[in-house]
Chain A
């Protein structure tokens, strides 16, 4: 197990390097001169040349990448073109907000999906199966931002049960923060719950047909025990992998949901930066978002190997 974890951790280095490469060259591919975008159209040519040397823009691209990477590792992520604030501290301030939103959305998705998937699979093609699958189909088809707007309309404006206004951070008030997060977490989590419900149902149906489940039944175990202890445990293994993949989608979804609910998280930060063409901010946003996705997948891979011993042995054998 240790060997497997060590290999996966080592593989992280080229992956993260790959991300920085993609981000750097993507930023490089943007048409236009970054110095002019910093100084504006009426710029002083001498000052521009001085800045070009200062930023290393007069050097070969590969050297520029090396310098940028070095600064990234040293924690010097540059300053925002518009606000002149350091990008790293802004990003670090916003990460917990988005992480909290994603955490609650995922928690909610799992709390809905596992019971709903199991209930649907125990009586395939019965009314409860059809109703959970219909709700799941609706969940898959409704975009997060529209569902968020519906929630604002229903629970915020019409019923007035939940706040939709200014976001309260965890540091200001824990209960207020949690109350403010309910609607965004539901908006983000419902779509994921729908996907996971379908997955749990189909893996349960697959597992339930296997011989060992029949053995458990034939030795007289209660159906509840067969389903929850024997079948569910194995059916959850593919779910763990998909949960890992969902984190990538949750980051994407969080961007949109944060915009709907005006949450000052990483997603809003990134989109505002893109719309304002604030490239140091855009770089910081994409590097962090992609790295979080890679780290989440690494965690899931390790968890997967922990849950299913065959994985680490297979890796050893190959």
Chain B
């Protein structure tokens, strides 16, 4: 416990604790966090939770939700609930890994560009300008034309498309952080560039990266589902919500339930990440809250 000027005792709070405290006060953010946590748990424990294997075929085809199959079965007699549970793995995997990939390339590019400035900065940012001149989804499609459709190639496509987002974002933060006095002080006492960059500048640029990442994961999940829906993403037998929607769409008049469940799974997942992202934005920078 620390005492303030008036002698009142306060519990010392780190910025992480403070962020959590603010996050807890937003019902939307808590809702988002619960969905994301449940989704991650579902993906991790899919083998335990799923009533049957995702490729296991039953005798009943295109059945409506019932006690035996809570979400019904698809045209091959596969349990829809099991496919939705296993499908969470692909969504989470693509969402997380593609964004980590974009961060690993984009953040260092932004750091270097903003810190060193000059010709390097100009050249890097012009390349990024051309990069974003292509609509995101079109660029992802173009990359998928070159690469064969598969989960890992979808990750690569989304990761590549998202690099400029992080490079530009971090560059902007670096430009403002490097003007601060403590950076000048670090230079004055002869701290090396690498140390200034990674120890003093990077941690102060991370808040917007975290916020953008949460929303980017949501977008990545939509892009994966859309690509798979078009037949350009995850390929069978790997269960993917987008592919299941595409395959089940043919039987919508026979059994509407089989398109509802994979679609709802995508929607809830994206909603969870978006709400968490909004909450994090307000918690990390309350000035932005309007």
Residues of chain A within 8 A (CB-CB) of B256 are 153, 157
Cβ–Cβ contact B138 & A259, under 8 A: no
Given A141-B271, A149-B259, A249:B137 Cβ within 8 A: yes
Complex: A252 Cα to B252 Cα, angstroms: 24
Q: Which of B130, B230, B253 contacts A18 (CB 8 A)?
A: B130
Distance in angstroms from B182 CB to nearest chain A CB is 30
A286 close to chain B: CB less than 8 A? yes
Interface residues of B, count at CB 8 A: 37
Cβ–Cβ contact A248 & B145, under 8 A: no
Distance in angstroms from A127 CB to nearest chain B CB is 15
Residues of chain B within 8 A (CB-CB) of A23 are 142
A294 close to chain B: CB less than 8 A? yes
Distance in angstroms from A37 CB to nearest chain B CB is 13
Residues of chain B within 8 A (CB-CB) of A249 are 135-137
Cβ–Cβ contact A26 & B142, under 8 A: yes
Residues of chain A within 8 A (CB-CB) of B259 are 149, 153
Complex: A137 Cα to B272 Cα, angstroms: 10
Cβ–Cβ contact A248 & B229, under 8 A: no
Cβ–Cβ contact B252 & A157, under 8 A: yes
* Identity of the chain A residue whose Cβ is nearest the Cβ of B227 in the assembled complex: A256
Residues of chain A within 8 A (CB-CB) of B266 are 143, 146
* Identity of the chain A residue whose Cβ is nearest the Cβ of B278 in the assembled complex: A137
Complex: A277 Cα to B113 Cα, angstroms: 39
Cβ–Cβ contact A153 & B271, under 8 A: no
Given A26-B145, A143-B222, A157-B256, A290:B274 Cβ within 8 A: no
Cβ–Cβ contact B253 & A251, under 8 A: no
B154 close to chain A: CB less than 8 A? no
Complex: A248 Cα to B140 Cα, angstroms: 13
Residues of chain B within 8 A (CB-CB) of A29 are 146
Q: Which among B145, B230, B260, B266 has the greatest number of chain A C-beta atoms within 10 A?
A: B145
* Identity of the chain B residue whose Cβ is nearest the Cβ of A28 in the assembled complex: B146
Complex: A15 Cα to B133 Cα, angstroms: 9
Cβ–Cβ contact A26 & B146, under 8 A: yes
A142 close to chain B: CB less than 8 A? yes
Given A146-B266, A153-B252, A282:B271 Cβ within 8 A: no
* Identity of the chain A residue whose Cβ is nearest the Cβ of B219 in the assembled complex: A140
Cβ–Cβ contact A149 & B245, under 8 A: yes
Cβ–Cβ contact A293 & B142, under 8 A: no
A124 close to chain B: CB less than 8 A? yes
Cβ–Cβ contact B290 & A124, under 8 A: yes
1/0 contact trace for B260-275 toward A, CB 8 Å?
1001001100110011
Given A26-B146, A146-B263, A286-B138, A140:B133 Cβ within 8 A: no
A118 close to chain B: CB less than 8 A? no
B226 close to chain A: CB less than 8 A? yes
Distance in angstroms from B57 CB to nearest chain A CB is 24
* Identity of the chain A residue whose Cβ is nearest the Cβ of B272 in the assembled complex: A141
A145 close to chain B: CB less than 8 A? yes
1/0 contact trace for B92-106 toward A, CB 8 Å?
000000000000000
Within 8 A of B (CB), among A117-164: 124, 137-138, 140-146, 149-150, 152-153, 157
Cβ–Cβ contact A286 & B142, under 8 A: yes
B170 close to chain A: CB less than 8 A? no
Other than the given A143-B266, A255-B230, 18 more pairs (CB < 8 A) read A15-B133, A18-B130, A137-B271, A137-B278, A141-B218, A143-B263, A149-B252, A150-B263, A152-B252, A157-B252, A248-B136, A252-B136, A256-B229, A259-B230, A274-B232, A290-B133, A290-B134, A294-B133
